[in-house]
Homo-oligomer: A and B are copies of this chain.
């Protein structure tokens, strides 16, 4: 028995888990419908895939949510996991699930996949015969991902950085790397059974004034860490910045560099896709404006040529959306994408050059670290502040980089902290910034956070 398999047996032996029948699961995946694989969909369709967010505690409510989504023309279904499960607290999740089932009140903010188990969940997934994407935010997602794959969920979101630095205050980063290494390995293994499992990184990070250079670096390293373990289909992602041209530039650069670095590391056979998140920052407290924001961001997604778009709802500022609001957004995004035609190929050479330089400068610093493995290099880069995410709640994050918006609402680096970018790149960034006479940086930041409100 391989080392990995021994680990898997331990991980899946858990008091909240029914016996894991690895053979049966392998047989299931081998004969699973191609329709369940988003990697297959990417190969066979040119259309931008539309995926909402959403999850409820009970099987019935998720089932009804999926029905609503299907009616709205959804391409990819989400399965969002509750926060107890994310923290591996299956006992609480079990209790709350029972309460939710008895009282018809939601006591969990997502689907407790461990407690439902793969035998039950698979029924739903195969019933809808549509790709499902696992949305969680779990630093230790080993059991969760086993359960997801066994259920027929063939896209796994997350990564050691993107699901940690924006989502956690003090979960140890080195552990996160090792737990995700396991996840990558299992995904790679399953990818040999049928169509590839698709892994997706979470580019929005803290969703607040994130500089594209840092977002791209993190996308690239999570991609490399995944491909290194044998994953063959990977989606890099980012979220709407607030400036149309910055979105376009970010997309052009990330597409180019993702391919470049994948090839550089010998992963010529890996498929790489681009996912665009609709505005992830603070939404307006006005549902009609939120509708407009959702449509405008759909137009931009089409312009940047994303392979998948992840949608928001008109309820975003208020709270967790109803299934109706969620389906409404899907239908409206599908309509917009269907109607939008004649999209121009846009670019801005100077901006693309500068962004490319910054990403390459940081990547060089990361890769030149003395550690023996890639994950350790990345770990060190974060510790050194070479990778530094504004508005991360995590204690390991340097929190020295400060970003503000220029007059076009492009996000610019005002303080570079320990970012290993060249003076030239930094000067370019600074040259775009305009502060009004007497305007304080903090007031500008507050304004810049609220641009969509």
Contacts and interface: CB of A to CB of B under 8 A. Distances in A.
A248 interface: yes
A293 interface: yes
A346 B292 CA distance: 22
Contact of A340 (B241, B244, B298, B346): B244
Contacts of A339: 292-293, 296, 451-452
Given A295-B295, A299-B299, A336-B296, A408 B288 contact: no
A403 to B, nearest CB: 15
Contact of A244 (B247, B328, B343, B409): B343
Contacts of A246: 342
B291 A291 contact: yes
A242 interface: yes
A289 interface: yes
Nearest to A328: B288
Contacts of A289: 331-332, 335
A117 interface: no
Give the 8 A-B residue pairs with the shortest CB-CB distance, closest first.
A243-B342, A341-B409, A295-B295, A245-B342, A342-B408, A289-B335, A292-B295, A344-B346
A203 interface: no
Number of copies: 2
B344 A291 contact: no
Contacts of A343: 244-245
Contacts of A336: 292-293, 296
Interface residues of A, number: 38
Interface in A313-350: 328, 331-332, 335-336, 339-344, 346, 348
Contacts of A451: 339, 341
14 contacts: A241-B342, A242-B341, A244-B341, A245-B343, A288-B291, A289-B335, A291-B292, A292-B295, A292-B336, A293-B339, A296-B299, A296-B340, A341-B451, A344-B348
A85 interface: no
Contact of A296 (B286, B295, B331): B295
Contact of A335 (B244, B248, B292, B346): B292
Nearest to A336: B292
Given A289-B335, A291-B332, A244 B410 contact: no
A284 interface: yes
A206 to B, nearest CB: 20
Contacts of A293: 335-336, 339
Contacts of A340: 244, 296
Interface string A285-307: 01011011101101110000000
Interface string A422-453: 00000000000000000000000000000110
A30 B286 CA distance: 43
Nearest to A242: B341
Contacts of A248: 344
A408 to B, nearest CB: 4
A333 to B, nearest CB: 8
Given A288-B291, A295-B292, A295-B295, A245 B344 contact: yes
